[in-house]
Amino acid sequence: MDIQKIKQRFGIIGNSFGLNRAIDVAAQVAPTDLSVLITGESGTGKEVFPQIIHNFSSRKHGKYIPVNCGAIPEGTIDSELFGHEKGSFTGAHDSRQGYFEVADEGTIFLDEVAELPMSTQVRLLRVLESGEFLRVGSSKPQKTNVRLIAATNIDLVKAIEENRFREDLYYRLNTVPIIIPPLKERGGDIYLLFRKFATDFAERYRMPPISLDDEAQQILAKYEWPGNVRQLKNITEQLSVIEENRIINAEVLKKYLPNYYPNKLPALYKNDLVDEKTFATEREILYKFLFDMKGDLNNLKKLVHEIIDKGVSMDHIENADRLIHNINQASSSIINPSGVHQSSVNQVDDSDIEDTEEFIEESLSLEDKEIELIKKALEKHNGKRKYASQDLGISERTLYRKIKEYNID
């Protein structure tokens, strides 16, 4: 079967390998009566593939019944699937056919199959093994000829280990597995989907379609999309309805992407000079360096005063050299996290120490310190953001954001 024709018929957008592979497997297994298990994250579009299988099978003229197992209360799921006899439980005023009886010669799609209670799993296993089922409250077995397709976003192997899913049922369902890739693994498809959704919403709400500038397109492609296609569709609809400017830039798009810029710096490596402590925020890291530097500078000032007042000794010189080395190392760690020293202290006099101590006292503001470091890095590399970001130990995208945030020329 032609994959492109299947995409057009079922409105599937994208050309990634994983997506094409899933469509190909669905088309190949459709003419058989094998059970199929579809797995993938929530929001990836698993519900389309059972329709492909049913419509390209010999059962296409029979009923197709999708069932969301997680939406049916545990006390009524058996009655919904297998039917019940009159008087079998409180409220059962009449006999009722279940889905397996209604869908005879057709297809049943059990979405979120991992949500089925263990007792229902036993009944379902019997249907798969023998084609027989019992209505609730009946002892008379009935036959059914149903093609079963199941889907889940849960790791069923782990569920089996936790005794939440039957292993024998898993192997019955998983005769043919189809894996739907998450949106973050379909990089080239993301903007295609966005344009499709933007066009659809423009027609629905009778307004011009939205589009993205180049930087916004890059952000769209790099975002993790935890909600997959469903999340992309929702965000496209929000942008279409709320934003008056029909060309969406990066700053506007970021407002609609949860946790796009987490407030984190690269993790510190454990070593002999750093306690085994996790710094949760950027502020804690900078304060740690600044207070260490301040302490070393105060000690260095005292040593220099002793040298001036009492004369020079080898102990004083060694202590001063050690403190200067520590200050240089701490400064380089902030300016250049790779550990390459940019400058060294060659001369120290009393007036220099006084000025330096006052500067440290006035520079404990995180925002001021960031602005100063960014300006120094840009000056050093003649305004080239790529090299400045490498020197600062942050991404070029983060540097660009901070330049705009602080209005740095």
Query: Domain boundaries in the chain?
Result: 3-181, 184-255, 282-406
State pLDDT tens for residues 156-190. 999 999 999 999 999 999 999 999 999 999 999 99
Mean pLDDT calculated for residue range 302-326: 60
In this prediction, residues 60-89 reach a mean pLDDT of: 91
Mean pLDDT of 107-111: 97
The answer to whether 107 and 50 have CB atoms below 8 angstroms apart is yes
Q: What band does 361 get if pLDDT is binned at 50, 70 and 90?
A: very low
Task: Decide if 142 contacts 132 (C-beta within 8 A).
Answer: yes
CATH H-level superfamily of 3-181: P-loop containing nucleotide triphosphate hydrolases (3.40.50.300)
Going from the C-alpha of 274 to that of each of 248, 277, 278, 299, 337, the distances in angstroms are 44, 8, 10, 20, 14
- Tell me the average pLDDT of the chain: 82
With 50 as the cut, is the pLDDT of residue 350 above it? no
The answer to whether the CB of 13 falls within 8 A of the CB of 196 is: yes
**Mean pLDDT computed over 92-106:** 91
Give mean pLDDT, residues 218-225.
93
CATH class of 184-255: mainly alpha
Query: What pLDDT is stored for residue 46 in this prediction?
Result: 95
Average pLDDT over residues 246-267: 76
- Tell me, what's the pLDDT at 319? 61
Q: Give the pLDDT score at 103.
A: 94
* DSSP secondary structure, 216-247, as one string: HHHHHHHS--TTHHHHHHHHHHHHHHH-SSSE
Q: Are the folds of 3-181 and 184-255 the same?
A: no
pTM of the model: 0.62
Cβ density class 269-306: b for 16+ within 10 Å, e for less: eeeeeeeeeebeeeeebbebebebbbebbebbbebbeb
Please determine, for residue 334, whether its predicted confidence score (pLDDT) is greater than 80: no
Measured CA to CA in angstroms, residue 158 lies from 69, 114, 163, 165, 222 at distances of: 19, 11, 9, 9, 30
Tell me the longest C-alpha to C-alpha distance in the chain.
108
pLDDT for 409: 74
pLDDT band of residue 341 (cuts 50, 70, 90) is: very low
pLDDT band at 219 (very low <50, low <70, confident <90, very high): very high
Confidence of residue 359 (pLDDT cuts 50, 70, 90): very low
% of the chain residues with pLDDT over 70? 74
Predicted pLDDT at 273:
39
Between residues 115 and 399, which one has the greater pLDDT?
115
